[in-house]
């Protein structure tokens, strides 16, 4: 059985083994800092088998430095669901695999967090509904822009405040594709947040909220022609540019090579460009490779569709 996460809370307890698959995500999209993101089809997968003792088994080269015990971030995420439900997590073997490169701005931590919370909730018989799963994850990350698309798929606009986590999910507009440049070096979110100013001027605030509002509206009605203008940002990219060689050039010039808009993906160093899926992306690929070469970087350039499914549980 495969199911999207569409049912509510309260399903009876689940003794069988199951798999949880959570996608990568690209947050911010320029001015939507901490509030806007989309889902990328690279996946973190957990295979959960109830048994008498807990075992945490990271698999594959990407996870070779993550702990093989209960201190693993995925297992800690599973405990969060038990904590919110006021229950004790039953023991299980948890195998973890990921295609999401770590600390590159593609939401590896959010995919791990969502996969873990959903897996814990599933082991407990789904005491938490989806809004609560999102709220647990958003409070843990401190912002909802990766976890919301990782959970629901598509493009998600979300806010986190004292009253809860509120969101609107959009289906990806027709003909909108994503091209990402994923450099080979890591940049932790904490380092990329530490360079941001603590305060902004009113002019910067007005610039950010007007562009973020325009971007959300453009994405919701499929106005691909507006993306380049709507994606202008002075809240985070300008401060992070020194950490990501070539970023400023790509933000300024990618449109000349067919990009509909460009942004730093999450906290970087991945850079995201939108493209029109009816047009070839070869010129854009050649350009992005040339920027890497000019800056002495290695990495890969890859096209993706936006993942519409989000996190999926299968039996």
Ligand X SMILES: Nc1ncnc2c1ncn2[C@@H]1O[C@H](COP(=O)(O)OP(=O)(O)OP(=O)(O)O)[C@@H](O)[C@H]1O
Per CB under 6 A, residues contacting ligand X are 27, 44, 63, 66, 72-74, 96, 98, 102-110, 112, 146, 188-189, 266-267
Which residue from 5, 34, 156, 284 is in contact with ligand HSE, where contact means CB under 6 A? 34
Which residue from 146, 165, 232, 237 is in contact with ligand HSE, where contact means CB under 6 A? 146
Partners of residue 96 on adjacent β-strands: 46, 58
Partner whose binding site includes residue 213, from ligand HSE, ligand X, none (CB under 5 to 8 Å by kind): none
Cis peptide before 269 (omega within 30 of 0): yes
Of 211 and 285, the one with the shorter C-beta distance to ligand HSE is 211
Partner whose binding site includes residue 63, from ligand X, ligand HSE, none (CB under 5 to 8 Å by kind): ligand X
Q: What angle do CA 298, 302, 303 make, to 5 degrees?
A: 160
Is 285 a residue that touches ligand HSE (CB under 6 A)?
Answer: no
Partner whose binding site includes residue 96, from ligand X, ligand HSE, none (CB under 5 to 8 Å by kind): ligand X
Stretch that binds ligand HSE, among 3-11, 159-167, 187-195, 213-221 (CB under 6 A): 187-195
Cα separation values, 242 from 23, 63, 144, 195, 255, Å = 28, 28, 25, 10, 21
Partners of residue 44 on adjacent β-strands: 22, 98
Helix (H, G, I), strand (E, B) or coil at 167: strand
Rg over alpha carbons for the chain, rounded to the nearest Å, is 19
Largest CA distance in the chain: 59
Asked if 310 and 39 touch (Cβ cutoff 8 Å), the reply is: yes
**Token pair for 288:** 């992005």
Is 28 a residue that touches ligand HSE (CB under 6 A)?
Answer: yes
First to last CA, the chain: 5
Is 148 a residue that touches ligand HSE (CB under 6 A)?
Answer: no
Of 73 and 234, the one with the shorter C-beta distance to ligand X is 73
Binding residues, as ranges, are 101-111
Stretch that binds ligand HSE, among 14-22, 140-148, 164-172, 209-217 (CB under 6 A): 140-148
Of 47 and 143, the one with the shorter C-beta distance to ligand HSE is 143
């Amino acid at each position: 059985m495969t199911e999207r996460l569409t049912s509510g809370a309260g399903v009876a307890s689940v003794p069988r083994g199951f798999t949880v698959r959570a996608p990568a995500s690209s947050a911010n999209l320029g001015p939507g800092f901490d509030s806007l993101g989309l889902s990328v089809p690279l996946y973190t997968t957990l295979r959960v088998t109830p048994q008498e003792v807990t075992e945490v088994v990271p698999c594959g080269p990407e996870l070779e430095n993550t702990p093989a015990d209960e201190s693993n971030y995925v297992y800690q995420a599973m405990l969060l669901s038990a904590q919110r439900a006021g229950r004790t997590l039953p023991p299980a073997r948890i195998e973890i695999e990921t295609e999401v490169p770590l600390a590159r701005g593609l939401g590896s931590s959010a995919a791990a967090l969502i996969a873990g919370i959903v897996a814990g909730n599933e082991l407990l018989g789904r005491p938490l509904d989806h809004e609560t799963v999102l709220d647990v994850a958003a409070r843990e990350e401190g912002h909802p822009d990766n976890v919301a698309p990782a959970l629901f798929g598509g493009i998600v606009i979300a806010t986190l405040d004292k009253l809860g986590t509120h969101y609107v999910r959009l289906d990806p507009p027709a003909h909108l594709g994503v091209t990402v440049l994923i450099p080979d070096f890591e940049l932790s979110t904490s380092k990329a947040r530490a360079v941001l100013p603590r305060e902004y001027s009113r002019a910067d605030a007005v610039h950010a909220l007007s562009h973020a509002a325009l971007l959300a509206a453009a994405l919701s009605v499929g106005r691909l022609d507006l993306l380049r203008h709507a994606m202008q940002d002075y809240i985070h990219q300008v401060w992070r540019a020194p950490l990501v060689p070539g970023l400023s050039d790509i933000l300024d010039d990618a449109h000349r090579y067919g990009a509909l808009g460009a942004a730093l993906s999450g906290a970087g160093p991945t850079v995201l460009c939108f493209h029109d899926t009816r047009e070839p992306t070869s010129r854009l690929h050649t350009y992005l490779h040339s920027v890497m070469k000019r800056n002495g970087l290695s990495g890969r350039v890859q096209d993706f569709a936006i993942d519409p499914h989000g996190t999926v549980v299968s039996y």
